């Protein structure tokens, strides 16, 4: 019975060990995947945040540059406005000589600013009184509803005022910039007006070193494209319909905004930084290509996938190999302790288990525990050689197998049973009195006699029984049982003898 229990125990242990190993394996895989995914998510957000910060910094620097570039314009217009009195802003002039001197003077001013298309003075009614291009003298801007006239007359009257972009007669993109001339009460007496060629924006942007597929653009408050790096000629002056750009153009309080978007101009997804340029009617937009921003992250993703896959596969194959080795070790242990024909314990396994049982009994006896001593039964098949000679070894083997099944069926959970050698079997029954052991042996003998393993032959067995004596060795116990078995055979076989 011990071997069947051992086999079942090993199977249970294999199932438990297999479940534990796979649980640990998939637990480690889960940790690896969670850690990798978390790290990749953090790296991804960091890559996007870094690209956003770069775009934000660039937009800030470019906005600063555009503001500073208008300082020269502000200075020239301020100097020009303060060089005139309100009485001099008359057209047609009453003093041609003075008019000619003043015109020469503003021509000299315009040469300080290479991006000026023209420079002139207008009276409070928006009539051109002085200009660097004579064809505009006397032009009534108010009557022609020019935007710069409306801006100049609009409160507050102080400060630089810039119009939206317009296309001039020579097809260049321009804006007008005005600076007021006011009297002591702050009323408008006139204003200096300059036309600026916006191509200088493009010329400056072209000087900037820019990574491939990144973009720098300038828009006016009508969302029209003023300049772009890289330059796309057909898009300059185009009005761009984009939600965030349009919202910022209409909302003076919104100074900066960052987001991700596929460009409506070239269809490339970028991380955008939009920034309003101070009090000027311009918005600078810097775009960092998303795929370039996360290129390093993608390399990390590839490496993580390879590493995680390799590690997970190593864990899986390692777990399989461990389970296979564990199973082989258990099978080898079973082979080393089990009789291969009957599946009962072999002599070595029985001896080890019996010695432990006897040692346990001696320990209990030392503490005066009221336990019955173990009883050893030795069984030998009668005339087994004749069975082999008459019917062949196949039948003989079947007889051994069938008797082992009878023994297994009769043995309890704590009983030991084994094939001792040849046709001999041994059983050790713990905590058993002699009468119970004799009854057990009788039942065993009766069950064996009912076997039909050999054709037309009754299988019988002789049994020797002996009770363990405290502190004696297993060898001594076995010798007494062997004497009892010998007596059973000498007295006619198919019987039970006690020693």
The residue count of the chain comes to 499
Name the CATH superfamily for 200-291.
PAS domain (3.30.450.20)
**Across-strand partners of 29?**
none
Indicate the CATH number for domain 89-94+115-197.
3.30.450.20
Is 423 marked active-site?
yes
Secondary structure (3-state) at 312: helix
Please tell me the distance from the alpha carbon of residue 125 to that of residue 122, in angstroms, as a whole number. 8
Bond into 476 cis (ω within 30): no
Q: Which residues contact 180 (CB under 8 A, 6 or more apart)?
A: 81, 152, 157, 158, 159, 188, 190, 191
Secondary structure (3-state) at 128: strand
Domains 89-94+115-197 and 200-291 share a fold: yes
Phi/psi at 350 (5° precision):
-65, -45
**Across-strand partners of 123?**
190
Please tell me the distance from the alpha carbon of residue 329 to that of residue 338, in angstroms, as a whole number. 14
Q: For the chain, what are the domain ranges?
A: 89-94+115-197, 200-291, 347-498
| pLDDT of the residue at 379 | 96
| pLDDT of the residue at 182 | 92
| Helix and strand counts by DSSP (H, E) for the chain | 12, 16
| pLDDT of the residue at 21 | 87
Q: Is pTM beyond 0.85 here? A: no
Neighbours of 389 (CB within 10 A): 11
Q: Which residues of the chain have pLDDT under 70?
A: 1-7, 366-370
Element (H, E) at 317: helix 295-337
Indicate the CATH number for domain 347-498.
3.30.70.270
Closest by CA to 3, choosing from 478, 322, 415, is 415
Q: Which of 88, 242, 423, 497 is catalytic?
A: 423
Closest by CA to 381, choosing from 454, 456, 275, is 454
Question: Tens of pLDDT along 373-430?
Answer: 999 999 999 999 999 999 999 999 999 999 999 999 999 888 999 999 999 999 999 9
Q: Which residues contact 197 (CB under 8 A, 6 or more apart)?
A: 115, 116, 117, 172, 173, 174
Q: Which residues contact 148 (CB under 8 A, 6 or more apart)?
A: 141, 161, 163, 176, 178, 193
Please tell me the distance from the alpha carbon of residue 241 to that of residue 223, in angstroms, as a whole number. 7
Closest by CA to 83, choosing from 155, 179, 161, is 179
Tokens found for residue 177: 């910039």
């Amino acid at each position: 019975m011990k071997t069947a229990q051992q086999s079942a125990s090993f199977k249970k242990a294999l199932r438990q060990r297999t479940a534990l190993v796979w649980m640990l394996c998939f637990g480690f895989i889960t940790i690896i995947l969670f850690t990798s995914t978390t790290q990749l998510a953090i790296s991804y957000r960091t890559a996007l945040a870094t690209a956003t910060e770069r775009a934000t910094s660039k937009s800030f620097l470019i906005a600063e540059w555009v503001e500073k570039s208008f300082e020269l314009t502000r200075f020239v217009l301020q100097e020009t406005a303060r060089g005139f009195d309100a009485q001099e802003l008359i057209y047609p002039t009453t003093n041609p000589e003075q008019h000619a001197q003043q015109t020469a003077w503003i021509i000299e001013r315009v040469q300080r600013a290479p991006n000026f298309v023209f420079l002139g003075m207008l009276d409070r009614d928006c009539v051109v009184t002085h200009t660097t291009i004579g064809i505009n003298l006397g032009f009534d801007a108010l009557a022609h509803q020019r935007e710069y006239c409306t801006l100049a007359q609009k409160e507050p009257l102080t400060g630089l005022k810039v119009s939206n972009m317009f296309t001039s007669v020579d097809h260049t993109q321009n804006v007008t910039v005005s600076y007021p001339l006011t009297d002591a009460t702050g009323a408008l007496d006139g204003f200096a007006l300059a036309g600026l060629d916006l191509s200088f924006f493009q010329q400056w942007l072209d000087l900037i070193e820019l990574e491939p597929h990144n973009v720098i653009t300038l828009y006016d408050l009508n969302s029209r494209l003023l300049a772009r790096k890289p330059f796309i000629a057909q898009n300059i002056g185009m009005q761009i319909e984009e939600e965030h750009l349009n919202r910022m153009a209409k909302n003076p309080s919104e100074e900066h905004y960052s987001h991700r978007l596929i460009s409506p101009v070239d269809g490339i997804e970028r991380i955008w930084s939009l920034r309003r340029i101070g009090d000027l009617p311009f918005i600078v937009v810097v775009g960092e290509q998303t795929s370039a921003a996360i290129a390093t992250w993608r390399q990390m993703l590839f490496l993580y996938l390879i590493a995680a896959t390799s590690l997970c596969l190593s864990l899986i194959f390692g777990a399989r190999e461990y389970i296979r080795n564990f199973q082989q070790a258990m099978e080898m242990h079973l082979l080393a302790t089990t009789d291969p024909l009957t599946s009962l314990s072999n002599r070595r396994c029985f001896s080890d288990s019996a010695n432990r049982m006897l040692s346990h009994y001696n320990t209990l006896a030392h503490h005066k525990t009221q336990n019955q001593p173990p009883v050893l039964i030795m069984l030998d098949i009668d005339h087994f050689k004749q069975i082999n000679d008459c019917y062949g070894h196949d039948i003989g083997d079947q007889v051994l197998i069938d008797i082992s099944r009878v023994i297994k069926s009769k043995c309890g959970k704590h009983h030991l049973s084994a094939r001792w050698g040849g046709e001999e079997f041994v059983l050790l029954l713990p905590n058993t009195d002699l009468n119970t052991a004799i009854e057990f042996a009788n039942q065993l003998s009766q069950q064996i006699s009912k076997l039909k393993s050999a054709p037309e032959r009754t299988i019988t067995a002789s049994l020797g029984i002996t009770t363990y004596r405290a502190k004696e060795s297993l060898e001594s116990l076995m010798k007494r049982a062997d004497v009892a078995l010998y007596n059973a055979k000498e007295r006619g076989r198919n019987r039970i003898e006690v020693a």
